[in-house]
Chain A
Amino acid sequence: MSKKILELLNVSKNFGGLKAVDDVSLSIEEGSLHCLIGPNGAGKTTIFKLIMGIYPPSEGKILFDGQDISRMPTYRRVREGISIKMQIPGVYLDLSLYDNIRIAVQKYVSYHMIPSEINRLISLVGIEDIGNPLVCNMPHGQQQWLEIAMSLASQPKLLLLDEPAAGMGPEETEFTSKIVKRINEQGTTIIFIDHDMDFVSKIARRTTVLHYGKIFAEGTFDEIHNNEDVINIYLGKV
């Protein structure tokens, strides 16, 4: 049995009277490619923010690599090996592609290694053909790939991808799925959120369904895809 890289133990998050995440327990195995799905407002992005330390949990514990990180600040979680690509790309629009990656990279390599590390990340994501435009001139899909490259700069053990294929056409989505699989094959554990079921079916090995902040179902994609209750919550019947 694989080692657990991330464990959420009875984690809850309250915003005033609203319980955005309700007693969630989740284990992620090292090297896995895990998907979180659920209707809007189910608590998926909140879980990512709890893992990153953007919000502290109201209750429960978060363990990363066996270490309790529940109260650890975000920057230290990143240094421990967690990274994220946010739902809305957090790229620097007025800078070039290289300068964007440089910001992410320079913390982790020596000064003279920065250029080669930038090129390594560009090759890893497969965006060599884009060149080095100003990011404000890049289409949305390319900005998403750039942000994936930036989130890999810290060489994370666990990568969180919040809707990596959102707003993309079929070809871009296909390209994104290849990126995600390639990164995972190189040993990085990935948890991702997406609404595009074709995209999820192509890459996810295990899927967790969230509903009203609780875990509603868990299993392989096929199990989830054929679960009537899951279909119903997406159609609004549950």
Chain B
Amino acid sequence: MNAKGRKVLEGLKVVELTRIIVGPHTGRMLAEHGATVVKVETIHHPDTVRLATPHKDNIGGLDRAGYFSKYNVNKLGLTLNMEKPQGIEVFKRLVQWADVVIESNAPSVMPKLGLTYEELSLIKPDIIMVSTNQLGQTGPWRLFKAYGAQAAAMAGFYYLTGFPDQDPPGVFGAYTDMVSPQWVVCALLTALDYRRRTGKGQYIDHSQFEAGVHWLATTVLDYGINDRVAERMGNRDPYMCPHGVYPCRGEDRWVAIAVSNDEQWRAFCKVIGNPVWTREPRFSTLLERKRNEDELDMLVAEWTVEHSPQEVMTLMQEAGVPAGVVATSEDLHRDPQLKHRGHFQVLEHKEMGPTAYDAPPYRLSKTPFELHSAAPCLGQHNEYILKEILGMGDEEIADLMAEGVFE
């Protein structure tokens, strides 16, 4: 057995009936480590993110969407019309083949299609199935249709972002999508190990709203125990000062600085040239700086605005002060540390050409991940899946195609 070349999830078979981020990212994390992931789509109702910007070179097209591309690398794409009974039959044949089913539809969908866990475990008794959606499979609000933005608002992230003197602007996008897939993957890997030991499958019901609450657990405990409702604080921190996002030279350029102790404060002052104001008693201790934080922030900004974000970060970090460029899209691609990590890997996409994909944020020493295939175009692997995976003959495929099953 060649440990170096081996992938953790080599031979693992996954079927996805998912959209947008959470389901696809879950499948992507399995695909990164060698799982064969079949993503089932339909041309009649394409994944919303195939319609969203950014599009490659700003030219629209269902196969030109960066949003879709990001979360679907390494997967095989199948178009299947699940409105047709034959489509459902093909899906069930995939389940027979599969080890894991991931679905992220509203809770009414799988029952309507006759594809609940109960029904699928009749086909494949040890199947591991996960349903992930906004609010979970049960409860009075389960049928509420929501995007991740609504779940993120409901989970409390929106209220906690922004400056106290203005209405909360909301967190960018669907933040619960960013904090859900990890739990699901951990549970899936646990379930796979459990099945390896016992032969038993299981059903997992995941609510993205509940995941979000865990990421704000301390604020909930604080309310329950201390009756305190956490409020947004801009870029202030309870314990650090100066702490914030400061303007830099250039158009809409910013740097984050977080001075967390006296030693760093002294280093900070030295970096900015020990101006007279830094020796004033009202900035001499943490408590004093906290009392005069508005003024302090203005004075810091007067210095940072003369420098680029990279300059500030480099000077501060060399002196041992936490500081970081507030990175733009371009900055991420130019970041020398991300380059060192090989964070962006370029694959050739059938329609879009060379496309950059994020590497996973963790690296295994013996069984490295591999990004081997760009995200699928719609139905790109129909033939391979139907013939090689499901063993269908040409005639059967042609008949079903004529009935509109592979759309």
Query: Bound pair: A and B?
Result: no
